[in-house]
Structure 1
Amino acid sequence: KKMQGENLTIWSVFFLEGFSRYPRLEVVLFVFSLVMYLITVLGNSTLIFIIVLDSRLQTPMYLFLGNLSFMDICYTSASIPTLLVNLLSSQKTIIFSGCAVQMYLSLAMGSTECVLLAVMAYDRYVAICNPLRYPVIMNRRVCVQMSVVSWVTGCLTALLETGFALQIPLCGNLIDHFTCEILAVLKLACARSLLMDTIMLVVSVLLLPIPMLLICISYIFILSTILRISSAEGRNKAFSTCGAHLTVVILYFGAALSMYLKPSSSNSQKIDKIISLLYGVLTPMLNPIIYSLRNKEVKDAMKKLLGK
């Protein structure tokens, strides 16, 4: 169904190719995605719940972690439920507004997460390199402001990208992806738009290499400080608070960089879909696990809650 404007086609329905070329794989992917999604929602909700309830966890690190968990729930909820429905149905469609919401939410959450991970690296830097001034530098107001800046940056850049992407005339409505991922949708454009390409490039550079650079700088300082700690116990403690964050950063940026900053070719689409499924399901699921397993405070809070 098309709505004809002044020689412009606006599609009211899109078809999502997903993994329909591999029907046998679909059942496996359905089970895999459903289990991962449930663990993600459960794990992240539990983490938020613990952080809110336990007064000892009212510290900057956990405030950011709570934000990260909420973001992961929104991020996976934007695309996984549609994927689950489509894996089981023969007609894999999504309406225009649904596609717009999906594109916006996954971009907004993904972008916010990039900024938030940089903020968390700075938090670890202050905690380890300036421990005595930590409560002063990272006071409640500063933490709230940093969280708000992360959200606003992510949501506004996503609005900019989605707003322009949805105005580009598309010469087809079969999206070769399981979600309305912006790169997959832009492949349907009738002509390349220089403006759109520029916006995508600028936003990608702002949200991928720049936060990564800030994270690297923070960690260079953190490492040099840790290596100067004389006691092994002190070193281990410092490493364990950073280990979790660093693991998440490597997983997250590794997947994002491989998707957004590489040249696109037709045969890379299959790999793209697999990467974005892992990126969309695996990292949000691992976040709470990585953070709580490496963390004595979270474990104690869990025991206290379960004890009650």
Structure 2
Amino acid sequence: MKFQGTDAYVATDDLTVAVNAAVTLERPLLVKGEPGTGKTELAKQVAGALGLKMIEWNIKSTTKAQQGLYEYDAVSRLRDSQLGDERVHDVKNYIKQGKLWQAFDSDEKVVLLIDEIDKADIEFPNDLLQELDKMEFHVYETGETIQARHRPIIIITSNNEKELPDAFLRRCFFHYIRFPDTDTMKKIVEVHHPGIKEQLLTTALTQFYEIRDMSGLKKKPSTSEVLDWLKLLLAEDLTPEDLRRDGANALPKLHGALLKNEQDVHLFERLAFMARSQG
């Protein structure tokens, strides 16, 4: 069971090595990187390439680890008991399986994506240590122990918004997705916009990387944003000459696809003002 990338996803050599190492070691793969660098998409592509079903657990700031195991609806059971409902005699009627339970209980091996784990409380990763390590957990309401029928391939993503506990990191295989260089980015663009004219692509990417390298930028545009920008350039049938900027107009064409806050827009406007003043 080897991952080699797919036609729809450009995976670098070090990324494919990381995925296959995590599969071999049977450890969760912790993937970090800038937002928009394809961390979530990686799990979907791994599942597709290996012919496995994917179960996705999207983490929010309010998510608790227990929700990944199961949730017991005591309120509904109390209400049903007051109404004389026969369902109340079986506690299993009030237990909702979480994503980990679904992955453990699957008849076949699955890919489990735990997406943006750093959004949750700092204790969230620690609360999953034993379950991810032993691949089992106890259901106190029924007294049963749920064990994984097939150890899932677990991919965990993080945007690095907060540090993860050392005990959790020790149980993972780690990979950081570096921002693509120009050659890799051209391969990614070719997947999404096949046949794009070389001159337009070169001019656009040159401008894109100049923007990313600009000092003082609050949010650097990501891979997903440059793909959106190129889609707009193609839809508007713009030429390389249309993309050229001068001192009077420092903002890139259709900049709303690349610059996502007013501070960065003002930065370009100030540069244009300074250029006009010097001129």
More helix by share: 1
More strand by share: 2
What is the TM-score normalised by the length of structure 2? 0.24
Rg comparison, structure with higher value: 2
Higher RCO (CA < 8 A, seq sep 6+): 1
What is the TM-score normalised by the length of structure 1? 0.22
